[in-house]
């Protein structure tokens, strides 16, 4: 698809002097679909000037035709185009052949010098509740600092999706409308106010071609067709020195609903203001250092509410070193907010592998609203130091297994039913299944911790059966409690028919409730490890099991001990 003098030429493969349509011959169409069809012709100026209109001849039992945009001719009069709507009958069965003929008309009738175009489509059925998702490697891109035309420009984001019928078969050449949620973002009558350009995803060795955008009743959109495998692809080219956020919707016109599918964020990564919202806070940071927690998703970040914040805002996070040549690095993912009022309580995660090791960085985010001015937060400094190994734990046993209070005794320790893992975190509902509301909680079990043993002398990952030791429970929170308790255990005999055995240590509810978060430092941690007392008086430790913890009641008062002794 290419544009010359703002008039749309459908396909570069169209022969000179032959009519073309934007949905090619032998394409699929959806039962009930309305097709936004552009008819185009490139020919001698005399022939183009002789055309008054485009006529489509079709059986009304299959489709009806609605003229939308009249025949328009380019300034040099060597091509022109018109737009019609094809309404596919709702009552047709799948795999019905639909035929129509396109005629170029003069004021007196058919034009002999222009051959009529015969087109055939095949009807298909889709789930009307389905939506067309678009994906991109990264929806964020910086504005180019030089001209960035479609085709030869090097700065763009590629979006892709796939179209399937009711039986999950690919749909060929199906037309999809991609629109912006707000007018004026992808269509402008004034070329100088263009915010982005849309281009095709070309075959290898070819250049991207510009895709025309349209506006109908303040609905701004462009039309793309799937390929023979049902894939849809297009590029978004940002404009030089222009910042914008665009949210894209997709639909098959009059078949599927209009649904959000993707966004593009075009903003500078370098902070351009001295002041802004409060800096993001990294949970667990101590003296500017961030340690990797085994089993955790990554760093946990909290953002405080900021003036003018809206539910539709998006947050893009960056980090930047302190050397003059250090450029900002985007952290993924981009977070689209849903509820600005609960922003303070929502943890945001970024994987450890994105963080440079032992390099001081400043950390900040960009607020990307739907329409308002964007802004940058203040910065927090951090240094990621990776996982810090305890030198006393060089030859360590496997971690414990942890089961919630929902587990039914006796616990099948070889099953994951009701087992919780480090990345799950520990919340109140995991520990209070055995507690009766309003009753004394003393003696109530909150978690079950399983320590495995073996009678295999060659297995160095587990302690030997018959060993004795202590289970350590550590709770570290910034506000409510910081405790370390130990529970003695003994690994006695092997489980029936196995070389391994186990012991279950009951962790009291009152030892792990009331572990609350802090806004500035985030959630606390709950950790378990154990050690075996060796015959020579030494101790051999296990690896540490660590999870985030939040076990306070909603709006729990400081003097509410939840059936337990005061802290």
299 and 418 assigned to the same domain: no
Domain region containing 307: 281-386
Residue 555, pLDDT above cutoff 90: no
Say if 527 falls within a structural domain: yes
Domain boundary among 336, 365, 386: 386
- What confidence score (pLDDT) does residue 295 get? 72
Instruction: Say whether pLDDT at 563 is over 90.
Output: no
Band of the pLDDT at 6, cuts 50, 70, 90? Answer: very low
Would you state the pLDDT for residue 9?
A: 36
Alpha-carbon distance of 289 to 386, in angstroms, equals: 9
Residue 130 covered by a domain: no
Specify the CATH number for the domain of residue 262. Answer: 2.60.40.10
Tokens of 315: 């947050």
49 belongs to a structural domain:
yes
Look over the chain and give the mean of its residue pLDDT values, rounded to a whole number: 89
∠ CA 111-16-205 to the nearest 5 degrees?
Answer: 155
- pLDDT, mean of residues 507-534: 85
328, 269 Cβ separation under 8 angstroms = yes
Kindly state whether residue 220 falls inside one of the protein's structural domains.
yes
pLDDT above 60: residue 389: no
Both 376 and 415 in a single domain?
no
Helix count and strand count (H, E) for the chain: 3, 38
What pLDDT is recorded for position 524? 86
**Residue 349: inside a domain, yes or no?**
yes
Q: Is residue 131 part of a domain?
A: no
Of 49, 46, 51, 37, nearest in space to 8 by CA: 37
248/319 same-domain check: no
**Together in a domain, 356 and 414:** no
Is 160 found in the same domain as 111?
no
d(CA 64, CA 272) in angstroms, rounded, equals 55
Looking at residue 7, its pLDDT comes to 38
Q: Say yes or no: 38 and 144 in one domain.
A: no
pLDDT of 230: 93
Q: Are residues 453 and 513 located together in one domain of the fold?
A: yes
Assign 499 a pLDDT band (cuts: 50, 70, 90): confident
Instruction: Tell me which residue has tokens 């960085």.
Output: 361
| Domains: count for the chain | 4
Residue 132 lies in a domain: no
CA distances from 17 to 1, 72, 116 (A): 17, 16, 11
Q: H or E element: which one contains 3?
A: strand 2-4
Query: Residue 287 belongs to a domain with what CATH number?
Result: 2.60.40
pLDDT digits (tens, 9 = 90+) for 390-429: 544 456 899 999 999 999 999 999 988 999 999 888 999 9
d(CA 255, CA 142): 36
Among residues 386, 411, 445, the one where a domain terminates is 386
Are 540 and 445 contained in the same domain? yes
Residue 276, domain member (yes or no): no
d(Cα 430, Cα 44) in Å, to the nearest integer?
A: 77
Same domain flag for 397 and 381: no
How much of the chain exceeds pLDDT 70, in percent? 95
Q: What mean pLDDT is predicted for residues 526-537?
A: 84
Task: Among 148-152, 271-275, 333-337, name the one with the lowest average pLDDT.
Answer: 271-275
The predicted structure's pLDDT at residue 76: 85
Q: Specify the pLDDT at position 492.
A: 83
| Whether residue 190 is found in the same domain as residue 288 | no
pLDDT confidence tier of residue 67, bands split at 50, 70 and 90: very high
Are 118 and 163 part of one and the same domain? no
Q: Does residue 341 surpass a pLDDT of 50?
A: yes
Q: 470 with 395, same domain? A: yes
The pLDDT of residue 4 is 37
Q: Cα 116–121–125 angle (5° rounding)?
A: 160
CA distance 192 to 118: 39
């Amino acid at each position: 698809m290419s544009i010359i003098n703002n008039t749309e030429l459908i396909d570069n493969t169209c022969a000179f002097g032959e009519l073309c349509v934007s949905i090619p011959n032998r394409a699929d169409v959806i039962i009930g679909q309305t097709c936004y069809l552009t008819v185009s012709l490139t020919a001698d100026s005399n022939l183009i000037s002789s055309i008054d209109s485009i006529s489509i001849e079709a059986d009304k039992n299959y489709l009806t035709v609605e003229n939308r945009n009249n025949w328009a001719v380019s300034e040099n009069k060597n091509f022109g185009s018109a737009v019609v709507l094809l309404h596919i009958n709702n009552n047709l069965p799948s795999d019905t052949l639909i035929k129509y003929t396109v005629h170029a008309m003069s004021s007196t009738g058919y034009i002999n010098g222009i051959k009529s175009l015969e087109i055939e489509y095949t009807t298909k059925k889709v789930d009307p509740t389905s939506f067309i998702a678009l994906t991109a490697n990264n929806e964020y891109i910086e504005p180019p600092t030089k001209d960035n035309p479609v085709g030869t420009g090097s700065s763009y984001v590629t979006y892709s999706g796939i179209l399937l019928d009711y039986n999950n078969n690919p749909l060929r050449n199906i037309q999809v409308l991609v629109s912006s949620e707000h007018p004026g973002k992808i269509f402008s009558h004034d070329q100088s106010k263009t915010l982005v350009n849309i281009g095709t995803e070309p075959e290898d060795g070819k250049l991207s071609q510009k895709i025309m955008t349209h506006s109908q009743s303040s609905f701004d959109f462009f039309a793309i067709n799937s390929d023979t495998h049902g894939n849809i692809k297009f590029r978004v080219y940002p404009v030089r020195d222009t910042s914008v956020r665009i949210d894209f919707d997709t639909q098959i016109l009059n078949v599927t609903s209009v649904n959000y599918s993707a966004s593009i964020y075009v903003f500078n990564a370098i902070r351009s203001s001295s002041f802004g919202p409060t800096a993001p806070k990294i949970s667990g940071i101590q003296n500017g250092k961030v340690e990797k927690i085994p089993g955790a998703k990554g760093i946990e970040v909290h953002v405080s509410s900021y003036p003018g914040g809206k539910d539709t805002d998006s947050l893009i996070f960056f980090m930047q070193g302190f050397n003059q040549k250090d450029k900002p690095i985007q952290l993924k993912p981009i977070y689209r907010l849903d509820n600005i009022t609960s922003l303070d309580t929502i943890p945001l995660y970024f994987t450890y592998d994105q963080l440079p090791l032992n390099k001081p960085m400043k950390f900040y985010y960009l607020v990307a609203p739907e329409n308002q001015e964007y802004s940058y937060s203040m910065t927090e400094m951090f240094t990621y130091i990776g996982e810090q190994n305890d030198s006393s734990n060089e030859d360590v046993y496997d971690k414990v297994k942890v089961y919630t209070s929902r587990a039914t005794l006796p616990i099948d320790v070889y099953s994951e039913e009701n087992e919780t893992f480090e990345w799950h975190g520990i919340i109140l509902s995991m520990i209070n299944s055995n507690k009766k509301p309003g009753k004394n909680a003393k003696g109530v079990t909150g978690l079950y911790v399983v320590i495995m043993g073996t009678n295999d002398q060659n297995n160095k990952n587990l302690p030997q059966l018959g060993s004795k030791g202590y289970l350590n429970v550590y709770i570290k929170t910034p506000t409510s409690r910081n405790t370390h308790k130990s529970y003695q255990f003994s690994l006695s005999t092997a489980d029936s028919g196995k070389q391994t055995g186990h012991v279950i240590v009951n962790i009291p509810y009152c030892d792990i409730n009331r572990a609350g978060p802090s806004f500035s430092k985030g959630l606390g941690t709950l950790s378990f490890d154990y050690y075996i007392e060796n015959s020579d008086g030494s101790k051999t430790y296990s690896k540490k099991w660590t999870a985030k913890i939040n076990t306070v009641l909603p709006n729990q008062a400081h003097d509410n001990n939840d059936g337990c002794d005061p802290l």
